[in-house]
Amino acid sequence: MEGARQKTGLLHWLDKNFENIFMVSGLLSIILFISWQVVYRYIITKFIDRAGAAVWTEELARYIFIWISYLALCVTIRKRSSIRVDILYDKMPERWQQISWIVVESLFLALTAVIAFFGWGQIERLMRFPQYTTAMGLPYLIPYLVLPCGFGLMCLRLLQSLTAQMQKCGIHDSLAGFTFAALIVSPCFLLDYIEPLTALFGYFAVLCLVGVPIAISLGLSTLATIISADTLPIEYMAQVSFTSIDSFPIMAIPFFIAAGVFMGAGGLSRRLLRLADEIVGGLYGGMGLTAIVTCMFFGAISGSGPATVAAIGALTIPAMIERGYDRFFSAALVAAAGCVGVMIPPSNPFVVYGVSAQVSIGNLFISGIVPGVMTGLVLMGYCYFYSRSRGWRGESKDRTVHSLFRAGWEAKWALMVPVIVLGGIYGGVMTPTEAAAIAALYGLVCGTLLYREMDLKAVVNSCAEACETSSVIIVLMAMATLFGNIMTIEDVPGSIARAILSLTESKIVVLLLINALLLIVGTFMEALAAIVILTPILLPVVTGVGVSPLHFGVIIVVNLAIGFITPPVGVNLFVASGVAKAKLEKVAGMVLPMIGLMLIVLLVCTYLPEVPLYLVSGK
């Protein structure tokens, strides 16, 4: 009996942690591989003649990256943590919310089953006609196994989740959910032909409204278009699911996320907060100013708005409330300051835009510095005058040059991260992806050996968190590639560009219209999803009126950064209100003046391109 119980316990643990084993070991491996690539290139080759090039590291890292990205998606399925539009879901009665999960997960299952099935077809072809990778001579069959294995495991996780959901809903509600899912897909099979764009955008809108994750909505709407309009071979979906993320630049995303997670878990946030408090903590609104400066510091490490709010808000919001600041103002201020995290480099949205628009990620990074600093300064100005009118002062304590240097010395390892990343990129020493890997390794060393605040469990949890967070972005980009290829075939970007330019060729009006569109989109769609969908559509429009792709990258990122604090999909607001234990609607009301100030920064960056591009043009 005891042996059976131990066996059951082991199986339960393995079922719960199966993906984590590969995610953690895989992420640590690729961080080490790419870091070794840099060390080998600049150190080993200096001392060993004919050392050659460590080309195998990049190739192996790419394939491991693809595997862990799709395995991590299995974890997000269990946790239901994918990016989705919740407008309709939040207004449903609880019973219908439960039924909606039956609909969402059965549709999700349909997509993963199709990709797993045709992914196995890819394996059969590679078995009949073997092909080998360039650097390592590895059979392509091995990396491509992720299609049947990874998506097959997703099918298993979805079936487990569906089974649990059916038990919760009961037989009648479960049948209602499956019936509704069948009704959604039925036009593809009942109608002989549907216009490609009608199918593509119609299904995408319906699926997003139903609550299907945005990445899966992109994939399913592409699948529906292929079935109903025969635009591409259906096998193409499996092929592109692999090739679209087989990209070295995209790997920067999990590395930057890992660097932020490692440094946050390793005690970075407290040290940066102490330094910021020494700089501005004695002024009116001192703790609020400290929160903004700390968000700017942390944004230069994590590249993520919500991660910045979570890491800094957990420390500063309770401290502000304790010192008499209004709870809703405190949450709103940190939520707005978190937007700076996606402007100041490194920035995940800039990486995604750079890959989508084929623009230098290094130039995008440097062009985000001025808008990020401007946003931080206007928020600090608002915090100062608002706090002064209410008599909120910083903590009374001696702040001397000595205490400032001591705080700076304690935070020295954290402050080195932006130097390593930006210095490596702009010094021509490293690519953005290599700089990101070095930053992640550095963050791991800081947390475990220098600050000594991360034990083995913390390292494992941090690796798993980084993989889960990045997988949502990576899969979004893969599915957006499928979606975008249909749009390209149907000439959607060109048609929209011609339509807008036929109305007006005024650069001012076109940019105003695009800004309005992006602000609206940002209120209900997550920034990264909006970038991968809208970039191929809007880029031909702005280039048609003389806006450079680099300048447009700044416009789209600053614009969508504002979306982090605009309901209903203002993720920074959600995080901040959760930390402050404050009602979302009251926090949203308090953030309105800050949105107004950020809009002024947006207009300056839009119509005075020399401002955001000053550092690029002057370097």
Q: What is the pLDDT of residues 567-609, one digit of tens each?
A: 665 778 777 887 787 777 788 889 999 999 999 999 999 999 9
Question: Does residue 319 carry a pLDDT above 80?
Answer: no
528 in Cβ contact with 553 (< 8 Å): no
Spell out the residues 6+ positions from residue 21 whose beta carbon is closer than 8 angstroms to its own: none
> What value does the mean pLDDT take over residues 393-415?
79
Instruction: Read off the DSSP letter of residue 284.
Output: B
Cross-strand pairs, 284: 393
Place of tokens 């990122």: 557
| Domain assignments of the chain as residue spans, ordered by start | 2-246, 250-454+490-618
| Angle ∠(85,76,218) on CA atoms, nearest 5 | 45
Cβ-Cβ contacts under 8 Å for 522 (sequence gap 6 or more)? 530, 559, 560, 562, 563, 566, 569
pLDDT-based confidence at 177, cuts 50/70/90?
very high
Q: Which residue has the higher pLDDT, 272 or 118?
A: 118
Tell which residue, 162, 62, 48, 47, has the closest CA to residue 102: 162
- Residue 433 pLDDT: 87
Residue 205 has pLDDT above 60, yes or no: yes
**Predicted confidence (pLDDT) per residue in 121-152, tens digit:** 999 999 999 999 888 888 999 999 999 999 99
pLDDT of residue 54: 65
Residue 109 reports pLDDT greater than 60: yes
Looking at per-residue pLDDT, the higher value among 523 and 251 belongs to 251
Reply yes or no on whether the pLDDT at 373 is more than 60. Answer: yes
526 has a pLDDT exceeding 60: yes
Least confident of 29-43, 274-288, 365-379: 274-288
Work out the average pLDDT over 484-503.
Answer: 78
pLDDT class for 1, splitting at 50, 70, 90?
low
Nearest partner of 160 among 283, 74, 50, 270, judged by Cα: 74
**Closest among 221, 234, 601, 267 to 446, alpha carbons compared:** 267
Q: Does 7 score more than 70 pLDDT?
A: no
Give 387's contacts (C-beta < 8 A, 6+ positions apart). 284, 285, 288, 325, 393
Of residues 414 and 353, the one with the higher pLDDT is: 353
**What are the structure tokens assigned to 113, written together?**
């089953």
Neighbours of 66 (CB within 10 A): 27
If you count them, how many residues does the chain have?
A: 619
Q: Which of 39, 25, 112 is nearest to 76 (CA)?
A: 112
Phi, psi at 139, each rounded to 5°: -60, 130
User: Given this model, what pLDDT does residue 395 score?
Assistant: 64
- 329: pLDDT strictly greater than 70: yes
- pLDDT value at residue 497: 73
Tens digit of pLDDT for each residue in 425-474? 777 788 888 888 998 999 899 889 888 888 999 999 999 988 988 888 78
State yes or no: pLDDT of 280 exceeds 60: yes
